[in-house]
Structure 1
Amino acid sequence: MILSEAWQLYKADKQIQGYSSQTLKAYKIQSALFIKHLGNVEIEEITTETIKLYLGEVASDLKASSLCHRIRFIKSLFRWAQEEKYITFNPSTAIKEPKLESKIPKFLTEEEIELLREACLSPFEKALFEFMYSTGCRIGEIVNLDQSSINFSEQSVIVFGKGKKEREVYFNTRCSIWLKRYIENRTDSEKALFVTVRAPHRMSIAQMRYVIKQISRRANINKCIHPHQLRHSYATTLINNGAPLEVIQNLMGHEKSETTRIYAYLSGQLRRELYNKYF
């Protein structure tokens, strides 16, 4: 079986398993790069040495995180091929990912959050901003929500995270007020929670990012602001207010506790208070 055929079957299998379109889009790029470098060869002919030489050639041009992403795709592809019995030996087993530096997520200060609030001009912008910040949802989770998903009486909503995992998240009263105003002001019949202003239809991830970018420009914050920073800021606020890491992990939909634990490093205010208390 040649690589391009393996990719098509791999992609179909992962679609059936519920992989997100974003993940498959990223993997498609990795597949194209792999085939371009090696040629559309038989998958059985690829050895561990072949893969190492490929990764070695591109390593100097990539960040460690990008190289890890490339390696994960290759390992996933060959693991699948072995499970499906297209190959008897998995040449990627011995390939190791480079160690990544532990980066502290960038978050916004309370003052920056307030400046962004003030920069929101319409009920739509206010509703979108408050929903992102008060739920801590990933942008990919928000774009798929419908109006009917919102439970205003409980101030909660069910979202589907990575791997189609379902979880309940909550929003505050401020967010509830702006969501209601936004929905009441709409005249379209679209079921999506957030729609485009012109020719209303469900917003895309890129369109939501653009809205947040426009709000940040108006706020005159000298920082490159994106929706995921609101998610980081949500976690930081919970940490600073004393929320246990297990609770934050559940609310954010983190599969691994290590992913949540990094936010503990952000809690400068809480650490200062504990230092003053115990030292």
Structure 2
Amino acid sequence: MPSGALTEQVAAWLQRLAVERQASPHTIAAYRRDLDKLLGWAAERGLGQAADFDTEQMRSFVAQQHRAGLAPRSLQRLLSSCRSLFRDLRRQGELAHDPLAGVRGPKVRAKLPEVLDTDEAATLVEVPGDDALARRDRAMLELFYSSGLRLSELTGLRWEALDLTAGEVRVEGKGRKVRILPVGRFAVAALRAHAADRPMQPTDPVFPGRGGRPISPRAVQLRLANLAIRSGFPRHVHPHMLRHSFASHVLESSGDLRAVQELLGHADIATTQIYTHLDFQHLAKVYDAAHPRARRKPTAG
């Protein structure tokens, strides 16, 4: 394959993502899946490098993926991956133009995250029982909801990252960005009770799984689903619902979008703004139920 060919350009960019931006393996794998579509399409048309692309070709690429059944949300993610590649190649001096200038994907209807209300969240995290497993689960869910952690941040947590006296936890999020988060008093109490069950070292995982290794994300998913069923929840509950609920409840009470962005570790406040839609939904329900000119007329019996 000649030097500068598209395959090599993609591989070099993914390497820069891993080394310079310290992107996670999951992020790099997602980019690779998207760009494999671009590589396959380009190979069929004899396009050897990014400089061979123009706007009409990229419109044709998007249309072909759409006809192949790619959903609007997936198309938008594919376009985002291609834009990131082209932007980097322009910085590297390997591309003089933007092949995606003016190219837009189909509109995506925003999918609002599922959240628990405050009573549901309290029911879920107050795990019943007085054995070591119940204390671990209680500490795990209380911390999850108290501090709005990502699942990967929760499972990878070590005791040295917790300061229970100060009520703080130090986590390393996406892009290895570190943030210090508050830990609520119920979570602190649950973590103290969990810590008392076994001798621990600062580098030990807070929530160990088999063999003393950190509990796996899949184990947390299964455990949470099981606890929700035991608590009588009528719907499936997944770990990210606790992070979404944390964000929604803090925003609902404070109205401080910027603070919620910092707590969640979002690089872009636009990512956080989806929770304002959830807050509006709640306000709209209150309005519909309370305002005399909004209430629906009772149906005739």
TM-score class, shorter-chain normalisation, is 0.7 to 0.9
2:114 corresponds in structure 1 to 106
Unaligned runs of 5+ in 1: none
Alpha-carbon shift at residue 234 of structure 1 (Å): 0.8
SS at match of 2:223: helix
Quick one: structure 1 residues 31 and 226, their matched pair in 2 at CA, closer, same or farther if it must change by over 3 Å? same
- State yes or no: 1:42 paired with 2:55: no
SS at match of 1:168: strand
Quick one: structure 1 residues 212 and 37, their matched pair in 2 at CA, closer, same or farther if it must change by over 3 Å? farther
Q: More displaced, 240-249 or 146-155?
A: 240-249
CA contact 2:62–2:105 (8 Å) conserved in 1: no
1:3 corresponds in structure 2 to 6
Alpha-carbon shift at residue 195 of structure 1 (Å): 2.0
Residues 10-49 of structure 1: pairs in structure 2 closer than 5 A = 10-16=13-19, 17-39=21-43, 41-43=47-49, 44-49=51-56
Partners of 1:167 and 1:211 lie apart in 2 by: 27
| Matching residue's letter, 1:206 | R
SS at match of 1:231: helix
**Larger gyration radius, structure 1 or structure 2:** 2
2:195 corresponds in structure 1 to 183
Can you list the C-alpha shifts for 1:88-112, whole angstroms capped at 9, x where unaligned?
3331233224333234322102332
Partners of 1:238 and 1:133 lie apart in 2 by: 11
Alpha-carbon shift at residue 129 of structure 1 (Å): 0.8
- State yes or no: 1:59 paired with 2:54: no
| Matching residue's letter, 1:205 | P
Task: Output the TM-score relative to the length of structure 1.
Answer: 0.86
CA contact 1:145–1:192 (8 Å) conserved in 2: yes
2:236 corresponds in structure 1 to 224
Quick one: structure 1 residues 163 and 95, their matched pair in 2 at CA, closer, same or farther if it must change by over 3 Å? farther
| Matching residue's letter, 2:232 | N
Residues 255-274 of structure 1: pairs in structure 2 closer than 5 A = 255-267=267-279, 272=286
Residues 83-232 of structure 1: pairs in structure 2 closer than 5 A = 83-119=91-127, 122-186=134-198, 191-196=204-209, 198-232=210-244
Percent of aligned pairs with the same residue?
24
Unaligned runs of 5+ in 2: 294-301
Quick one: structure 1 residues 57 and 224, their matched pair in 2 at CA, closer, same or farther if it must change by over 3 Å? farther
1:75 corresponds in structure 2 to 83
Q: Which structure has the higher relative contact order (CA within 8 Å, separation 6+)?
A: 1
Alpha-carbon shift at residue 132 of structure 1 (Å): 0.8
Can you list the C-alpha shifts for 1:10-65, whole angstroms capped at 9, x where unaligned?
11111122222221121121122322333285213333333222211222523322
Quick one: structure 1 residues 68 and 114, their matched pair in 2 at CA, closer, same or farther if it must change by over 3 Å? same
Task: Output the TM-score relative to the length of structure 2.
Answer: 0.80
2:296 corresponds in structure 1 to none
Partners of 2:200 and 2:5 lie apart in 1 by: 49
2:297 corresponds in structure 1 to none
Q: More displaced, 27-36 or 114-123?
A: 114-123
Partners of 2:182 and 2:140 lie apart in 1 by: 14
Q: More displaced, 96-105 or 62-71?
A: 96-105
| Matching residue's letter, 2:269 | S
Quick one: structure 1 residues 53 and 123, their matched pair in 2 at CA, closer, same or farther if it must change by over 3 Å? same
Q: More displaced, 243-252 or 221-230?
A: 243-252
Q: More displaced, 224-233 or 32-41?
A: 32-41
SS at match of 1:100: coil
Partners of 1:50 and 1:21 lie apart in 2 by: 30
Partners of 2:65 and 2:194 lie apart in 1 by: 48
